[in-house]
Structure 1
Amino acid sequence: MNSRKVKNQYQETIRTLSDRIVAAQAPIRILDAVKWDDDVKQGFLNGEGKALPTVDRAYYEQRPLGFDPDEVKAEFQSIEREVTRHLGQFSPVGQIMRRMCREYRMVVRMLQARGTRDFGLISQELYGAATDAFHAGDPTLADLGMMMSDYLNNIDKRSDLKDEPKTLTAKEAAPMLQQRLNAVFGEDEGTIRVFESDGIVADAAAGADYIKIRADAMFNERDIRALEVHEGLVHVGTTLNGQNQPICTFLSKGPPSSTVTQEGLAILMEVIAFTSYPSRLRKLTNRTRAIHMAEEGADFLDVFRFYEEQGYSLEDGYQNASRVFRGSTPSQLPFTKDLSYLKGFILIYNYIQLAVRKGKVEQIPLLFCGKTTLEDMRILSQLVEEGLVAPPKYLPPQFQDLNALSAWMCFSNFLNHLSLDRIEADYANII
């Protein structure tokens, strides 16, 4: 048997197993399975925020998942066995696929546990907890949330940093965002669709080839630019890059571990594209603080009052507090997915710094080759060399220019060695 035929068989095997993973995860819709319906919201609003929302274990039992969880778990178990049998125990691409299978089984277990304490515990395994440290002795995510809140408080009352008025309706914002995305992606992909939707919690949400904008949300022009880079360049761009993979098709779909990478990239892009702003960062730090409160025993009303103290209206306070407890109940452990934003930003930023420091800048764009997970980057680099993974077709301009990115990170690496406390003392007479 010649080597070309062996190679083709190897690639076909990977593609077949990869396609099985994509097919097996298709019915799993985490956010749809955990969200609370409008009746819960209306009941809370009618009670003027005085009573806990009426959500318990029975509430979720009346909302079936839309698939047989035992069958889906069995399929992922079968795929995992087949990966080992056909690719071997130590195959690099097999390691990624086996981890994905285990992670998806854990996702199904989490969804089966909706409305119980186990839901929150499994959520912490998948997305992390606010008390997790980046390294031994380092600040935790909860510490980061408090530190950033303190920084934001120092600039909060500056009139020149106030948000631009949100005067654009979803109906007005959608075509503006559509025009910007057409300029980025062109129309050869069938055009990325932007449309209004009533069924989402966030202001916007990205799918494979579309971005939904919440019909009752209001926007300004900065928001449109942020949506372009966050939802468009990162979430839609990585999906398209994953769909363009000829062999490792699993990169078109992301388990929770890839969510951390995705949201970290999205927030980093907002920062380096100069589309972020203090109240946007406040929203992210509030989410981290709210999750930490719930982990420490706060219930829905405690978190809702926290948002009231931050100046949120009754409805907006409910909206934000419900993100924390969706999938759970109003008095149990939280759904920790929203930690992914700040956690992912720190992890991605550190990764890029180290890649520059070690002279491995060619690995950085591979973050965009699909729904990647940070721990797989060395393997992905190897798979690109082997021709099993295609480099990203769609890449934000900031990551196309590795010269500028490297220069920035060289300075950043140096600045990390300076003591801000010492600098503050030295600059006391000039600031």
Structure 2
Amino acid sequence: MTPDHLSEAVGPETSAIESGAFSPADLAADHAMASLAGTVRFLLEMTPVNADEVRATFLADPRTDPVFEYRELDVDPDVLDAQVAAIPLDSVTDATLATLLANRHREMILRVEMLRARDTADFLQLSIAQYGPVLPALVQRAEDLLERLPRGRLEYDSVDAAAFLAAAEAEIDHYRSIDPDVGIHAEIRDDVSGVLVEGDTLLISHNASVAGARVNALLQHEVGTHLVTQVNGSAQPIRMMGSGLAHYDETQEGLAVLAEIACGGLTVARLRQLAARVVAVHSMVGGASFVETHRVLTGYGLPAGSAYTVAMRVYRAGGFTKDAIYLRGLLALLEHVAGGGSLDLLFLGKFSLEDLPLVEDLAQRGLLVPAKITPRYLADPAAGDRLRDAARADDLLTLVNA
């Protein structure tokens, strides 16, 4: 899990294109797909523009489901359909690349349908198809955590949007000191909720409030994982490793939570939040209203405001089930590490743990280049110890280290 290991894993930096292993047609198909993927700000399109305004109204009288509003779509789904259909996948000759691109192509078709169905009754089933069902074992794990974790408000000191932006810019400057061409940045926006990464940008809500104990952990989650893998993936011959291959979200979020553990910043409140997200998705899929799910969450001891945020993220767009993948992705990666698996290649781009054998094949053939930057937390010798301890842990509560 070191920069040296990453370099050894992928071999000489010049091999991918100079060897001619990928044909021009291979790269053309990949680049066309990556260019198209970069035009869709998927998470922004799913996020209500009035979430913060509605919050106060709902909390004052939590008996009526809130009504969310969304920005106009930046792209026409019909045009996107035509553009996705025009990607020249039939010309791809490398079998591994063909599989990776075909899987992502199917996902792009599904995401276009999600955009088209946003805020309608059809959206939920499309979301389940994209992010997978929430199985009983995961729900039971989440419910057990909520039963045993301390309840109530646990974090008091916080920083506002401006202070978190300053911390994020300092973190980004660290990576620019390593590679001046790193093209990532952070900004405050009034049309987002919370903190999220879209493409190469960290977006911070103007109303954001981050617990003091969570600042570094959130930076390692968003910058040290999501933006670092975007930089490294975009530098690969396969540009889709920067945009994200099929079902990359779950592994990305699991890796980002591992970063929180590695830097010593996983708090009780954060672990409870991850469990609550699973319970909220399960409640919504089961037919519960926003009000009912909010009541379930407060019944588990979440403060009303925190419960609103969890429910809003889950009910947005018509039923966005993505939030269940954080805990599921974490558990999958802990199992991977416990079984002797390495995390090294996962920092080269955005792809799923299921696709790791395919990425390993590309690396072994010298078709990937070394990481331009590696997560800052890996330089801390204690990070490796924390990850090994986490992989050996029988109880997720022992992962709390802040």
- TM normalised by structure 2 equals 0.82
> Could you tell me which amino acid in structure 1 is paired with residue 190 of structure 2?
D
Say if 2:44 and 2:198, in contact at 8 Å, map to a contact too.
Answer: no
RMSD, aligned CA: 3.3
- 1:410 to partner: Cα distance: 9.2
| SS of equivalent to 1:87 | coil
1:345 matches 2:330: yes
1:68 matches 2:47: no
1:31 matches 2:31: no
| SS of equivalent to 1:326 | helix
1:270 matches 2:260: yes
- 1:403 to partner: Cα distance: 12
Q: Deviations over 1:308-357 (max 9, x none)?
A: 443534x55443322111111xxxxx31010121011011122222244x
Unaligned runs of 5+ in 1: 133-138, 329-333, 421-431
> Could you tell me which amino acid in structure 1 is paired with residue 83 of structure 2?
E
1:201 matches 2:198: no
Partners of 2:225 and 2:23 lie apart in 1 by: 28
Q: Which residue number corresponds to residue 132 of structure 2? A: 128
Q: Measured at CA, do residues 113 and 209 of structure 1 come closer, stay the same or move farther in structure 2, by a change above 3 Å?
A: closer
1:321 matches 2:290: no
Unaligned runs of 5+ in 2: 1-15, 396-402
Q: 1:96 aligns with which of 96, 100, 106?
A: 100
Give the percent of matched residue pairs that are identical in Structure 1 and Structure 2.
24
Q: Which residue number corresponds to residue 89 of structure 2? A: 83
Higher alpha-carbon deviation: 26-35 or 104-113: 26-35
Q: Which residue number corresponds to residue 27 of structure 2? A: 15
**Larger Rg over CA atoms:** 1
Partners of 2:24 and 2:163 lie apart in 1 by: 47
Partners of 2:209 and 2:104 lie apart in 1 by: 37
Q: Stretches of 4+ moved more than 4 A in 1?
A: 4-7, 397-413
Say if 2:262 and 2:387, in contact at 8 Å, map to a contact too.
Answer: no
> Could you tell me which amino acid in structure 1 is paired with residue 186 of structure 2?
V
- 1:239 to partner: Cα distance: 0.5
Higher alpha-carbon deviation: 404-413 or 299-308: 404-413
> Could you tell me which amino acid in structure 2 is paired with residue 260 of structure 1?
E
Higher relative contact order (CA 8 A, sep 6+): 2
Q: Measured at CA, do residues 287 and 351 of structure 1 come closer, stay the same or move farther in structure 2, by a change above 3 Å?
A: same
Q: Measured at CA, do residues 267 and 167 of structure 1 come closer, stay the same or move farther in structure 2, by a change above 3 Å?
A: closer
Matched positions, count: 377
Say if 2:362 and 2:368, in contact at 8 Å, map to a contact too.
Answer: yes
Say if 2:244 and 2:350, in contact at 8 Å, map to a contact too.
Answer: yes
- 1:184 to partner: Cα distance: 4.4
- TM normalised by structure 1 equals 0.77
Q: Deviations over 1:100-159 (max 9, x none)?
A: 0010101111221223333111111111222x2xxxxxx622111112112314xx48xx
Q: Which residue number corresponds to residue 294 of structure 1? A: 284
| SS of equivalent to 1:324 | helix
Q: Which residue number corresponds to residue 395 of structure 1? A: 374
Higher alpha-carbon deviation: 372-381 or 257-266: 372-381
- 1:234 to partner: Cα distance: 0.2
Partners of 1:298 and 1:98 lie apart in 2 by: 36
Q: Deviations over 1:185-225 (max 9, x none)?
A: 426135743332222222x1224443232222223432221
Partners of 2:118 and 2:344 lie apart in 1 by: 37
